[in-house]
Chains A and B, each alone.
Chain A
Amino acid sequence: MLTLLGVHLLVALLLPLLAGRYRRAAWLLAVLVPLAAVVWAGLWTGRVLDGHVPQETLSWASVLQLELVLRLDSLSLLMVFVISGVGALVLLYGSGYFADGGREAGLLVGFAGAMFGLVTADHLIALYIFWELTSVISFLLIAGRGQGVANRKAAEQALLTTAGGGLAMLFGFILLGREAGTYRISQIVADPPATSGALAVAVVLVLCGAFAKSAQAPLSAWLPAAMVAPTPISAYLHAAAMVKAGVYLVARLTPALAEVQPWQPAVLAIGLLTMVLGAWRAMRQTDLKLLLAYGTVSELGMLTALLGAGGQTAMLAGEEMLLAHACFKSALFLTVGVLERSTGTRELHRLSGVGRSMPVVCGAAVLSVASMAGLPPLVGYLGKEAAYEAMWHADFAGRWWAVAGLALGSALTVAYCARFLWGAFAVKPGVERTPVERVPAVLVWPVCVLTAASLLLGVFYRVTGDLTVPYARSEHLVPDPAGPYEVSLWHGVTGPLTLSAAMIVAGLLLHAGRVWVERAQRRMPSLPDTQRGYEGTVNGLGRLAVWFTRHTQVGSLPVYLAVLLLTVIAVPGTMLLWYRPPLPDVTAWHSAVQVPLAVVILAAAVALVVTGHRLTAVLLVGAIGYGVAGLFLVQGAPDLALTQFLVETLTVVAVVLVLRRLPADFSPLRTEPRSLWFRVALATVAGVCVAALAVTATAVRQSLQLPREIIERAPETGAYNAVNALLVDFRALDTLGEISVLLVTVIGAAALLGRRGDGRGRPAGRRRRPGGRSRAAERFGEARWDVPREMWLPEALDVPRRERSLLLELVVRMLFPAVLVLSVYLLFAGHSRPGGGFAGGLVAGQAFVLRYLAGRSAEAAFPLPLTPRSVAGAGLVLAAVTALVPLAAGGTPLSSAQWYWDVPVLGSLHLATNVFFDLGVYLLVLGVCLKLLYALDRVRDAGDTLAPYGGPARRKAVT
């Protein structure tokens, strides 16, 4: 089964590629796939009907009970015959119908595969997935490619209805799975869950999905609308396959759920109502295809009622009708396709005398229609007689209503059957005889085969019985009080038979008096139109969405942020007030050093709020950062303090380098005092809230076991510094994610910074000013006292003489190597002392920043033949490879190993593999710093006249 499923998928993907060059071969291949499924099912038939149930499992996440279980019992077998048999014939028909159709062939095979999976799946969730797969493929098939608005709307409607129902069904499945304790359908059926409120909800939701898929009232509008699709697609999806998914689900779950309210009343009432309404509407149609579509709605209603009723005879009748419907309705849809191809119309008022021109097609259609009307000896007759019998002898309260509904529906069915034959083939007085073109035989063959199936399944009723009886005799279904019903063409003159005959006569009379009937139909108040209901719902939802958007999406960032802050205050803040956790004894401070630091930080914060000068603001933020770093040190976090110092320095440098381009002051405040006070109040309250949360959160902290264990086990990673152990070993995956994020943000920043004002950037990073002095140097030729005479830094020669500084160049010259050595030291010392890859990389980065400040050229500051990109990329790759290597050795990713050597002169050497991970971090951080440096370099280079960027984006923004 899994192989067949895979073959369907593979061929579906292959066909569009193949059909371009080998059209015939592609379609042949497409036919072969469902044919193979039929042959396979045929080989299994004997054993399955003897009670053997083959089963295949593809385990995926067995802990979550998520596995693909395929199972072939007798109901699935029947469905496979229907789906794959009709599928093969429709694809054969399609090879003559579509001009090229690689897309359609691929989608149809994919659809057949999805249906195959749906009817064999023994797991609710897997069934759901196949279910939605059929919805999506049907959307693609109905919409076609470039077919215009009508097709797209119909496809959208089909998708919204069936997928919406599918979602409800998914909730139902989850409830059902929870109640039953398993998602395996066979287990649920074998041991049905006890009735409960949740189960009733599950039943309603599951039925919603099934009704939407099988076009039951009031969700039936999508099926007639979908008739815009090409005929083979309608024949397959809307007669044999997709709409059968809903009734299949009903049939599958009836043994388990028929006893649960409101299953039985719902399926009977809605099913029979749909049957009558659909048939009534079918009688008014003048388009033959629409007539069949409403007829399908009607038949599906009958199937739902029969398969869901919960009796053995009803199930048997439903199975037979299902088989019969697939044969005759597909045949008739294909017949309409043939008519349309040969006459150019499917309006019954414009067709006349076609029966004489196309005797073979007409003969086949007559037989199929007879099966639809339930005439012996066709398979439709078997189904309908069993249906009458089932309702006649049923033991539920409203059974005479059910019999009446069935009888009325049957009479109307006979009437539209007659209307179809008359409309398609009869000679009509006053209508010119329709000219007929020859159609290829490949279009007629499938019609004949399907009709022959209708006839043979009726004549050899024992075969039909053998196929359908095993599932109908399931133990949880109610046995017929009149004894087991035997499938046969003749049971003697019984009540049901008499009723059936009477209804056939009634139907024929209705057709004979069609003029009066039509007049009466026109005079009757029109029924609520489900199509209008659907459109109203969709438009209403759209309006609701727009209304909601208009009132929430005001486009102002401060408003959005204020709403977020108010939420922070409202939700956790009120919780805090509500519960009022016991406050512990509060001390003023733990360590006296904290006080001056706190004062500095708070003073800087206040000044930051007040200042209107950009540079001042940046420096104040720097002061806060250093103050916080000091607090880290007090708290016993030297690693953090080190990193904070380095990052803060780098941030200030970067911001100042960019700030040179911006005006010195912030734009003058234009906010009203009222909104300013609101901001102050909001920020203050939010701050107080967070502070209160902080106090409570630290007070309720209880478990100190974890930190102790981390510290104790840190040496196992080869590190004595627990923070480093956490970063490179315990939580290395986090670190890997973090450095990736860092790289991505800096790439983004560099891309934004590197753009020029005029939109025409020079090739990124490859800039070298022509040797000698720059223009500025020539303009400001005169020297200052501290201009160096020696060449301390080669790159500084390009800097205008006036701006050079001996002190800076000298210091950089001397410090640069030392700082680099320090960075490497920090990298390796991180294992046992404060330091590590981050700190080391940042220090190395700052060494180059220093050189840049003196030399004003990023490339000169980093003279190696490497780009920042490659350094950062190498770091990321190294870290990732280090993480994955243990996998190759059979371990878990990100684990590390250690070695110790005794080297004669150096003493004991110790190597932990996670040092390579740390090295990766080091390289990445260094690369990121360099990348930033290059980008800042281009900012400086961008020139003073920053004309607005003239690209299309800008123009759009202006208009």
Chain B
Amino acid sequence: MTTLDLAMATVVGGLFATGFFLLLDRSLMRILLGVIVLGHAANLLLILSGGAPASPPVTGSEGPDGRLADPLPQAMALTAIVITFGITTLLLAMVHRAWQLDGHDEVRDDVEDRRIGTVHDRAEERAAAESDLPADRGERR
């Protein structure tokens, strides 16, 4: 049975908390930093789940105790690091673009999202407005 030591648990928890905090920000740049930190945290978690520190999983490099680290989480984390890099670049480009277009990198509330919820009210308003119009205009519609 393997155990996670307290120091590493603290680091993982601290990194996740930092990442979550930054993610909840309205500045896209801080969200980007939050994503990077969360990436680190997740990779670290993957690796730590492979067990206590050991020798690299290369045949012939066994240490005095003959233990080798688990290669599977390492391969997964390697994949994750590269994907995180890809996402970072994409978000970075979005930060830049947002700044270029709006002069800031804040994530504002999505007005269209809210408008969807009022679709019926607006349809009724329109219907009411149309019924006020003279009959011939209504027909032409």
Contacts and interface: CB of A to CB of B under 8 A. Distances in A.
Interface of A: 542-543, 546, 549-551, 553-558, 561-562, 565, 584-591, 594-595, 598, 601-602, 605-606, 608-609, 614, 617-618, 621, 624-625, 628, 631-632, 634-640, 643-644, 647, 650-651, 654-655, 658, 661-662, 666-667, 671, 679-680, 682-684, 686-688, 690-692, 694-695, 697-699, 701-702, 704, 706-707, 710-711, 714-715, 720-723, 725-727, 730-731, 734-735, 738-739, 741-742, 744-746, 748-753, 755, 757, 832-834, 838, 925, 928, 932, 935, 939, 942, 946, 948-949, 954
A769 to B, nearest CB: 22
Given A749-B90, A750-B93, A598 B10 contact: yes
Contacts, number: 345
A605 B24 contact: no
A587 B51 CA distance: 13
B13 A691 contact: yes
Contact of A711 (B14, B40, B57): B57
Nearest to A753: B93
A651 B88 contact: yes
A621 B33 CA distance: 7
**Which 5 pairs show the lowest CB-CB distances between chains A and B?**
A687-B17, A550-B117, A691-B13, A555-B113, A745-B86
A595 B40 contact: no
Nearest to A552: B117
Contacts of B105: 662, 667
Given A558-B25, A680-B21, A637 B69 contact: yes
A650 B5 CA distance: 31
Contacts of A618: 33
Contacts of A838: 78, 82
A635 B86 contact: no
A39 B92 CA distance: 67
Contacts of B36: 621, 625, 651
A738 B79 contact: yes
A688 B92 CA distance: 29
A722 B82 contact: no
Contacts of A925: 82
Interface of B is mostly: helix
20 contacts: A546-B120, A549-B116, A553-B114, A557-B107, A561-B24, A605-B18, A621-B37, A636-B54, A637-B74, A640-B43, A647-B84, A651-B36, A682-B20, A683-B20, A694-B12, A738-B82, A749-B89, A752-B96, A753-B96, A948-B101
B4 A698 contact: yes
Interface in B26-63: 26-27, 29-30, 32-33, 36-37, 40-41, 43-45, 47-60
A609 B18 contact: yes
Nearest to A921: B82
Interface of B: 1-18, 20-27, 29-30, 32-33, 36-37, 40-41, 43-45, 47-60, 68-72, 74-75, 77-79, 81-90, 92-97, 99-107, 109-114, 116-120
Given A586-B3, A707-B71, A608 B86 contact: no
A720 B60 contact: yes
A639 B74 contact: yes
A725 B57 CA distance: 10
Contact of A658 (B53, B54, B60, B95): B95
B24 A752 contact: no
Given A561-B23, A726-B75, A832-B58, A635 B89 contact: no
Nearest to B89: A749
B100 A755 contact: yes
Contacts of B94: 752
Q: Which one of A584, A655, A741 has the greatest number of beta carbons of chain B within 10 Å?
A: A655
Contacts of A639: 56, 74, 78
A424 B85 CA distance: 76
A561 to B, nearest CB: 6
Contacts of A710: 57, 71-72
A694 B5 CA distance: 10
A277 B55 CA distance: 82
A661 B93 CA distance: 12
Interface of A is mostly: helix
B15 to A, nearest CB: 6
Contacts of B83: 738, 741-742
B30 to A, nearest CB: 6
B3 A584 contact: yes
Given A628-B40, A650-B85, A694 B58 contact: no
B66 to A, nearest CB: 11
B33 A608 contact: yes
Nearest to B23: A561
A634 B53 contact: yes
Nearest to A556: B109
B5 A662 contact: no
Q: Which one of B56, B58, B103, B119 has the greatest number of beta carbons of chain A within 10 Å?
A: B58
A546 to B, nearest CB: 5
A287 B84 CA distance: 67
A550 B75 CA distance: 43
Given A558-B25, A590-B53, A702-B1, A949 B100 contact: yes
Contacts of B109: 554-556
B96 A632 contact: no
B2 to A, nearest CB: 6
Q: Which one of A638, A666, A749 has the greatest number of beta carbons of chain B within 10 Å?
A: A749
B28 to A, nearest CB: 9
B117 to A, nearest CB: 3
B130 to A, nearest CB: 16
Contact of B120 (A543, A553, A635, A711): A543
A942 B30 CA distance: 24
Nearest to B71: A722
Contacts of A726: 71-72, 74-75
Q: Which one of A554, A621, A751 has the greatest number of beta carbons of chain B within 10 Å?
A: A621
Contacts of B50: 635, 707
A691 B21 CA distance: 15
Contacts of A742: 82-83, 85-86
Contacts of B84: 647
B6 A662 contact: no
B17 A684 contact: yes
B94 to A, nearest CB: 6
A776 to B, nearest CB: 22
B41 to A, nearest CB: 8
Q: Which one of B32, B50, B100, B101 has the greatest number of beta carbons of chain A within 10 Å?
A: B100
Contacts of A585: 3
Given A546-B117, A555-B111, A686-B16, A640 B89 contact: no
Contacts of B79: 727, 734-735, 738
A551 B114 CA distance: 9
Given A666-B27, A697-B49, A598 B7 contact: yes
Given A587-B5, A590-B5, A683-B17, A636 B82 contact: no
Contact of A694 (B26, B48, B111, B120): B48
Given A588-B5, A643-B81, A739-B82, 13 more contacts: A555-B114, A621-B36, A625-B36, A631-B11, A635-B47, A636-B55, A636-B57, A647-B84, A661-B96, A690-B13, A691-B13, A745-B87, A745-B90
Contacts of A617: 29-30, 33
B78 A640 contact: yes
Contacts of A644: 43, 81
Given A555-B109, A723-B75, A647 B81 contact: yes
